[in-house]
Structures are given as C-alpha cells and as structure tokens.
Structure 1
C-alpha cells in the first residue's frame, strides 16, 4: 500500500481505524476492485444492518461480500467447552464464538434480505456469489503457555501474553507504556508516553479498580513486549 496516500485515523475508535486501513488496502489492491463499502440497508422503519465491503475479484471476476473484524482476544481455558469460546475479550465481554455467531446468524444472512437485493440493484452491483470474513486477530496467551499447541493460523496471530497483577515484577532497566484503545493498532515504537515501574503501577491499579484489563508495553535495551494485566 502506498502510505503517502493514506492518513491513519488516530482519533477514531479502533474498529473504524481497522476499516479505514482495510478500505485503503482494497482501493490500491491489484487483486480486488472495491465496489461499495459500509453499505447500510434500510428497512421500512429502521436500519437492518450494514454490509462492510462488496468487491470484485479481478482474477475470477466474482463478486464477493466481505465482513471485517479486528479483535483482541485472550485465551482462557476455563471460559467454555468449545475452542472458540476460550478466546475472550480482555474484559470478558465478548468472545471469538460470539463474533462468529453474529456473522453467521446476522451479518451474512443480511445479504439475502429483499431490501439488500433492491439496494444492490439500485447501485448496479450484481449480487455477491460468496461471502467471507476477514478477521484480524491479536491473540494473547497466559504467561508461559506455549504457542505451539495451537493451529498455525492462531500461532500467526499470537502477539503477547497476559498476567495477573501479582505477577508484575519490577524491572529497573525497563520503561512502560499504557496505550489507550485508540493506540492499540499503532506500532509500539511510536508510542510517546513512557513511565517508570512505580509510575505505571499507579496507572495499572487505577484501571484494575474499575474492572479494566490494561494493555501494557514494556521496553528494555534488549526487548520490546506487550501484555495485558487482567482484573479477573
């Protein structure tokens, strides 16, 4: 992607940041032609939903409906019986299972609604012949759990670990950052505010008190790592 033509929407919420990046990729792709994005489908009284992207595959000439999701999940072996239920949000409010069910039961079926078909006809877009979910996942394991036990697609998305508050040990050679959620997609190297251990400990405790699991960056002269500290 030609970065000179793209301005990262740093003030938007994380989901909209991911959408902006993906849309910019599609517009400059040699494999796809973006036909429409964020297509709202209106019912008689309310909005039925939204189709994220409809594209033409330039190699096959097929029209494809793509739903995009950008998620941060932590692995909790006790969170469910299915593997998809064990990948949960940092504050236990959602899971990979919940997301897949929403796509399967709500977002994908929207394509078949009469209102959707009519809207596509008005835009001169053929009905997509297939649907795909593009899930950009950032996965975190319990500290010291081996990534090798997971299938390769999951291994490729593992970017860090998580710990409990009592497991946070002081490291006088390190500096720490506590990015807000709008900064989670930015490279660690460009984060501006770094703190000593005693300073970051106060900021962490404030988050834990309100049942928020903060994402922490740690850098030393030798390593750079990221991890969540969980309140649960």
Structure 2
C-alpha cells in the first residue's frame, strides 16, 4: 500500500455536515496542511484504526490545530465505559473541540424508506448511517459529561469544550439508479453496486479488475498497478458471495477507472 496515496485519500474525503447528521461537523479541509505530506503508518491494524492514525497525524502536522488527547479510555470500577476519540485545540482561538471520527462506506437501498437518511446501509447490511448517528448522539458525545471524563480531563474545563463529528463517507448507489439526491449526498457518491449476475453480464475482455483489501478501500483506483481479468477475480468474488461478504471492486477499462460493490443480498 502506497503511504502517500493512503494519506491523500483521507485528506480528500468529505465529512457529512449538520444538515444530514444534526451534529456540528469537523471537515479535514479546516486543517492548514503542507502539501506532499508523508508519515509512517501502522501495518497490523484495521481500517478504522488506520484512519484514526492518519487523522491524528494530519492534525498534528497542521499549523492551526493541536491534539491534546486521543483515544482516551474512560474507566469506571475497572470497566471501560467508552472512549473519547479526540480533544483538539484551535491554535489561534484556543477553542477546545471534542471530535468523534468515523470512516464509513454506505450503500443506498431505496426499498427501505421514503426518507434518504434511513436508506444508507453498510455493504453487508449489518450497520447503517441512521444507527451510527443515533449511537453518536446517545452514547459517544454524552461521554464527555460523564464523571469519569471530568476526573480524566482535570486540566481542561469540560463545559468550555464544543463537540463536532468528522464523519468521512464514501457513498454507493444502485447500478443505473435514476433517483435524485440532495447535493450533500451527491458530492460523496463514489460509485455504484450490483449483483454477481449483472457483473458477469457486463464483463468483456478489455476490462481489468482488482479486489482491494479493506485497508485499501477509499484509495484512488487509478494509482493501482496490479490488475487481472474476469477469471482472475471470479473465484474470490464467488467465495465472498457464499460468505455473505460484499467485496469492493476496482475496474480499469479504456483508460478510465471506476469502483463498485458486488452485493450478496
């Protein structure tokens, strides 16, 4: 995995704003960063932890924000009751922000509801945007006001800390879907999803494919150097279908690159 490409992919991702989440947002575009950033990344971690590390380093590398606390566990009676992702400080105003971070891939299923907010689900249908926001509002952000937090963050005034969500999303819609989306969603749509039957029908000898690992999700397919034909990926995709896993596919065709999920459901 190319370190610079992985870092750049996170810098470019938009954060869903207040009009969707109902929570104050923190967008990484607020960071004053030098170009061509590079720093060492951990290897044996899951995607979520990898992104946390990248965002932490981005904040520390910026000229206008500092990290005061990160990944702070709150413990009560020897039990961990939760974790605060970040408490950061704006350099000029000294404003403190409790920031929660999430990096999510959601697929739009129009059959769920007439309200768009209800229809964004995880690739394997085991999580959703609505559930994530509910958890943040009822569990994550209230942690700041728990007695454990007050004792853990003695050096700062809890009541003077604002709260913000950095929800980095990549959105995918059904193949050939004709519905309209709010511009807030539109700018985050990266590709589409389809089933195995449709994928097979759309193949032709000029197409090349790559199945990125989870830690590569969100990176630019155009920077990938390893490609294969339909026969090189079909067995792995069939295995994913049997295991009820929806893989992300990168495709190169006639000099252009696209990405999509193949769903098992």
Normalised by the size of structure 1, how large is the TM-score? 0.92
Does residue 159 of structure 1 match 2:216? no
State whether residues 11 and 182 of structure 1, in contact with CA within 8 Å, keep that contact through their aligned partners in structure 2: no
TM-fit CA distance, 1:79: 2.5
Query: What secondary structure does 1:108 align onto?
Result: helix
TM-fit CA distance, 1:225: 0.4
Structure 1 consecutive aligned stretches of length 4 or more whose deviation exceeds 4 Å: 1-5
Aligned counterpart in structure 2 of residue 95 of structure 1, from 113, 128, 153: 128
Extract unaligned runs of 5+ from structure 2: 1-32
Note closer, same or farther for the CA distance 1:151–1:59 as it changes in structure 2 (3 Å cut). Answer: farther
Does residue 203 of structure 1 match 2:203? no
Aligned counterpart in structure 2 of residue 58 of structure 1, from 77, 80, 91: 91
Higher relative contact order (CA closer than 8 Å, sequence separation 6+): 2
What is the distance in 2 between the residues matched to 1:166 and 1:60?
56
Which residue of structure 2 aligns with residue 139 of structure 1? Answer: 171
TM-fit CA distance, 1:192: 4.7
Aligned counterpart in structure 1 of residue 210 of structure 2, from 170, 174, 177: 177
State whether residues 170 and 218 of structure 2, in contact with CA within 8 Å, keep that contact through their aligned partners in structure 1: no
Note closer, same or farther for the CA distance 1:190–1:222 as it changes in structure 2 (3 Å cut). Answer: closer
Note closer, same or farther for the CA distance 1:5–1:163 as it changes in structure 2 (3 Å cut). Answer: closer
Does residue 13 of structure 1 match 2:26? no
Which residue of structure 2 aligns with residue 116 of structure 1? Answer: 149
TM-fit CA distance, 1:25: 1.0
Does residue 31 of structure 1 match 2:61? no
TM-fit CA distance, 1:99: 0.5
Q: What CA RMSD, in Å, does the superposition of the two structures yield over aligned residues?
A: 1.8
Aligned residues: 229
Note closer, same or farther for the CA distance 1:155–1:59 as it changes in structure 2 (3 Å cut). Answer: farther
Normalised by the size of structure 2, how large is the TM-score? 0.81
What is the distance in 1 between the residues matched to 2:114 and 2:43?
37
